[in-house]
Structure 1
């Protein structure tokens, strides 16, 4: 068999074809006929080329081919990375602009708080009782209070949030945003992001290729980043419209008085001071408790405090009649309104509850009983049978009763000196300075807990009084009960006895036999030298008995 036939067989075998196909195709027979000449020519060319090419030239050619492939691969890689880099930079720029645009959209007309407020769509909202403090709040919400930030403080139910929502309604929520505070900074972070329409880069696609996740940080850092973006938007808005943005933090008292809560309050106040100084944003804080004002006062330079009090008699009667017409469509005699005001005072929350019941006087009395029950549940006296383990509860209750008794005595002295108040006068609840209240209670740390429990309240002038008129009526009834003074005295004596037992130390001396004695010596120290008194004790052996001769 010729070389061509062997070459053809080898080729067919490599291609997996059977040997019988060798003579079946004319192409293969043609190759077999002319194969020796072709093969011979190729062999001659190969032999000639092998003689001409040098091994060094082959290595150089291979090296040049490898270098070309490496350069080609590097160029492709560089081009790919360049396209990815440029695309990433363009997306980052687009995302940053999109973030600022979304935050700006949050200050457009309308606000989620207004949508949730029940009186936003009330056709009778124009009949809302206008109060003196409403003008100050309207000025702040409308952006005319440049260079200041505000703390609205007052007891629960005085209408602070309603006044803020009314001011938002009047400006239709333009350039305003509002969110509720919370004890957990993580929830504050989420609510602030929702109010500003900011997602803290959690929707950033580039975070998919990063090692650290978008939430690998703390809530305070995220809140700081949100304020950084808000600052950029506020600068642009002030340049365009000439009026600052407004950010309202409602229920600031819900922040905890721990390290995280104090750090968050400090962050909010620092930002409020900075924004007020630059005039690009006005922050408004709403609080029920005094501690927020006490915390702000330490670092405040541009703070305005707005105190919201209960309604006076005339405004309370007007509000009661308005709500009565709204719920039942009838009018209430002025005499009945005066009696209700004498019982529950001018707290809008209580007046609204009373107006919703058919028998208003009975429900007003029920409100007084509710406040009395709440006070006794929190600060009820236990008497001389109090157990040692509840001494802290006895201290807490005794201090509250001492302060309540002092307020009742102050009211009696005022009535005795001024005479019985006229029926058309406003409620003036007795109050005393904070330092004096602490002297009466003999404790300085309980007053804040009383304020949190809505038993006593502290106003912006640092005066302490009953939280409401029904609570003050509860104080009168409790102090007028027979045996109250004895029960209070027994509780205080029992607390003193338990504390005395805790301060007393008992020393037991043993192993004295045969008439032995102890010798105790007291060495007085020198206070100037920092040396205290020292007591030394030693055993005196009994005298030896003489032997009888």
Structure 2
């Protein structure tokens, strides 16, 4: 049967099958490189191992060089940091005043003109002191081979003596700081005085590396003293005199294990430095217990007792001060009355000299001291409650000791017209109050004072005046006796034990007599 003819659609062109299939199967390689490639032969196994070893060696060399560079950089930074620390501490002892000394010296340090400084000195340090020459020798380096404890009551001018000596040498070779009962605070103050950061600015802290600061405050204080010792050894050849480290108010240290450990560290350093004439350490204290802690280990320690100013010196200085700055000629009778009320205590004389009404200021000071004593040590009589037995024992002991000083004053004569406060030896004071621990507590609250020779007296002339007024009041002896009787009664009640005996029950439910029960036991 003949093949049916197929008519293509309009617009289509029919090609032979052979030509159409050939066009579809033949690729167009006009844009490709048809040059046959040659296959690279594989390297020999020995050559591959050689290349691997070479790459490992190159990587190890780069790593080693990097580590070596890092190590050298760290070592160089460590040397630079140590030298910077030494320079900062050395600068702290250079001529001039640190921030601590500027704050302590006040107006004197900020004066620019010599006449202005002299005027400030005449206003602030207007009472001549006999101890000033000795303190000047210590600060200037003439007195060597010892370390010093300056002991005296509050307000006698211990720090003023040191500041005047420091001013004369313009702070050359001086580091001064205040003590504190918290070791962390003391660590910061020591670092500020020596310009030492305790490695807290070390760059290793940026990488969370455990550094030297991760320790206790005592170890940090030891590190600071080590750095100071290195600086002192370096400067001894150039300066020719020892450095000076002043620590004020060491009585603020706590009388516990931490405070005693700190005091022991400071004393050990002071002993070594004094023996080598390397650093002179000066302690100041208001309380006697610091001397008791230092004496057992003291070899090169010298104690300086700073007391109130003598009557003739104090009255002459007060008279000149009022004539210069107040244009007032003070009569001798008023001067004698002022000294009888406030004595030669500098802190009180400054208040009186700068006031408009000196006698009114003296009366205010006496009232304040009497109020302080009564608020801390007054007794409650025979109506006290049993809950206040222990505090009242403390108060009764203070009243008894005050009465003993008043009685001792009646038998005491004024040497050469210069009245002195009555004194009782420490062991006798303990015998009078029948307690050993109370006297140091009295010294701590500034009611009584124990001097460097172990003598107990009133903390000041106004305090002795308060003792005299209280003991001369009507009914004082009866009130004291009633208080002591009540304390004896409370103590007797505390020692008494009441024993109550009950008849034990019988097993059958009845009551068995005590004798029968005891016989059975």
> 1:479 aligned to 2:479?
no
Match of 1:70 among 39, 49, 56: 56
Superposition RMSD in Å: 2.1
Q: Give the aligned partner of residue 200 of structure 1.
A: 198
**Preserved CA contact (<8 Å) 1:245 1:280:** yes
Q: Give the aligned partner of residue 79 of structure 1.
A: 65
Match of 2:364 among 366, 379, 391: 366
Q: Distance in 2 between matches of 1:503 and 1:406?
A: 29
- Cα deviation 1:421-445 (Å, max 9, x = unaligned): 59x7222111111000001111100
- Cα deviation 1:394-449 (Å, max 9, x = unaligned): 100100011000010111123xxx5xx59x72221111110000011111001111
How big is the shift at 1:107? 0.7
Q: Give the aligned partner of residue 463 of structure 1.
A: 455
Q: Distance in 1 between matches of 2:384 and 2:324?
A: 51
How big is the shift at 1:336? 1.2
How big is the shift at 1:362? 1.4
Q: Give the aligned partner of residue 353 of structure 2.
A: 355
Match of 2:293 among 280, 292, 295: 295
Q: Give the aligned partner of residue 539 of structure 1.
A: 518
Q: Give the aligned partner of residue 183 of structure 1.
A: 181
- Cα deviation 1:454-484 (Å, max 9, x = unaligned): 0000000000000000000000000001111
Q: Give the aligned partner of residue 24 of structure 2.
A: none
| Mapping 1:85-164, distance limit 5 Å | 85-112=71-98, 113-116=100-103, 117-120=105-108, 121=111, 122-124=117-119, 125=121, 128-164=126-162
Match of 2:265 among 248, 264, 267: 267
**Preserved CA contact (<8 Å) 2:152 2:287:** yes
Q: Could you say if the C-alpha distance between residues 79 and 326 of structure 1 is closer, same or farther in structure 2, counting changes exceeding 3 Å?
A: farther
**Preserved CA contact (<8 Å) 2:341 2:462:** yes
How big is the shift at 1:219? 0.9
How big is the shift at 1:517? 5.2
How big is the shift at 1:98? 1.0
Q: Distance in 2 between matches of 1:518 and 1:492?
A: 43
Q: Distance in 2 between matches of 1:67 and 1:320?
A: 95
Q: Could you say if the C-alpha distance between residues 254 and 326 of structure 1 is closer, same or farther in structure 2, counting changes exceeding 3 Å?
A: farther
Instruction: Tell me which moved more, 64-73 or 383-392.
Output: 64-73
Q: Give the aligned partner of residue 533 of structure 1.
A: none
Q: Could you say if the C-alpha distance between residues 326 and 507 of structure 1 is closer, same or farther in structure 2, counting changes exceeding 3 Å?
A: farther
**Preserved CA contact (<8 Å) 2:101 2:176:** no
Q: Distance in 2 between matches of 1:408 and 1:505?
A: 40
Q: Could you say if the C-alpha distance between residues 314 and 82 of structure 1 is closer, same or farther in structure 2, counting changes exceeding 3 Å?
A: same
| Mapping 1:226-305, distance limit 5 Å | 226-305=224-303
Q: Give the aligned partner of residue 530 of structure 1.
A: none
- Cα deviation 1:327-381 (Å, max 9, x = unaligned): 5343322221111001110001001111222111111011111111100000011
DSSP-derived class of the 2:297 partner: coil
How big is the shift at 1:248? 0.3
DSSP-derived class of the 2:367 partner: helix
DSSP-derived class of the 1:464 partner: strand
How big is the shift at 1:500? 1.0
| Mapping 1:427-466, distance limit 5 Å | 427-466=419-458
Q: Distance in 2 between matches of 1:322 and 1:243?
A: 38
How big is the shift at 1:129? 2.9
**Preserved CA contact (<8 Å) 2:145 2:277:** yes
**Preserved CA contact (<8 Å) 1:320 1:352:** no
Q: Distance in 1 between matches of 2:324 and 2:53?
A: 90
Q: Could you say if the C-alpha distance between residues 202 and 380 of structure 1 is closer, same or farther in structure 2, counting changes exceeding 3 Å?
A: same
Q: Give the aligned partner of residue 509 of structure 1.
A: 501
Q: Distance in 1 between matches of 2:380 and 2:365?
A: 25
Q: Distance in 2 between matches of 1:193 and 1:468?
A: 36
Aligned residues: 477
Q: Give the aligned partner of residue 489 of structure 1.
A: 481
- Cα deviation 1:171-218 (Å, max 9, x = unaligned): 110011100111111111111111111111111113323532553111
Q: Give the aligned partner of residue 534 of structure 1.
A: none
Match of 2:418 among 417, 426, 431: 426
TM-score, structure 2 normalization: 0.87
- Cα deviation 1:44-84 (Å, max 9, x = unaligned): x32xx54xx5xxx5443333222222211111111111111
How big is the shift at 1:303? 0.3
**Preserved CA contact (<8 Å) 1:323 1:352:** no
Q: Distance in 2 between matches of 1:290 and 1:259?
A: 18
How big is the shift at 1:318? 2.6
Q: Give the aligned partner of residue 23 of structure 2.
A: none
Q: Distance in 1 between matches of 2:344 and 2:198?
A: 44
